[in-house]
Amino acid sequence: MIEAVVFDLDGVIVDSEHVWDAAREAVAREQGGKWRENAQTDMMGMSSVEWSRYMHEVIGLKDPPEEISAEVVRRLEATYREELPLIDGAEEAVARLAERWPLGVASSSNRPIIDLVLELSGLDGFFGATVSSEEVEHGKPSPDVYLEAVRRLGVCPEQAAAVEDSHNGILAAKAAGMRVVAIPNRRYPPREDALTGADVVLEDISELTSDAVEGKN
């Protein structure tokens, strides 16, 4: 029986993977780094500690990782304050599931970004626990961020469902032992080997209902 639901943030609640990609690429080029075609794919799911280290060591930025991360976050915050790219139907889906279960967020975004998105969207009151992968040892596809989210919600992983859009996110939730509801990211679709591990695959977040979470559709 499902006793809690944990949402990913980027690609599920906000259409933001391309915003992260643009901010990182702009910082890399401005600081003389060598941007790689597969950089976005490489960094998807990484914690801020991991992707900022990647930009320092692989992309070749001279600034230390913590300064790289702070600059990218500054740009994301400015973009979101101007216009938050909420996914159509996300607010309604969160409210629907909150009527049935306690909710959490398990995100690769930096803590300030998670808090800002939930504040600007007005969704902060729906979530009993929010976890950034910078607060755990490993980012996705490791299960750490999901395990911490369910721990804070006070449920076992096997009693929780995760809502995910990305390849590494699906793998992370599955590795945590959770029921996985996948809503594939259209810009950066997960590979088939991840999708086959999902318990439910939806076309759109408008299909995210309590019946879908429990597999009753």
Residue positions annotated with a catalytic role: 8, 10
Q: How far apart are CA 205 and CA 186, in angstroms?
A: 12
| Beta-sheet pairing, 127-132 with 160-164 | unpaired
Q: How far apart are CA 209 and CA 99, in angstroms?
A: 11
Q: For the CA atoms of 87, 48, 114, 101, what is the dihedral angle to 10 degrees?
A: 80
Q: Hey, CA dihedral for 41, 47, 141, 161, is it positive or negative?
A: negative
Q: How far apart are CA 26 and CA 40, in angstroms?
A: 13
In 95-152, beta strands by DSSP E: 103-107, 127-132
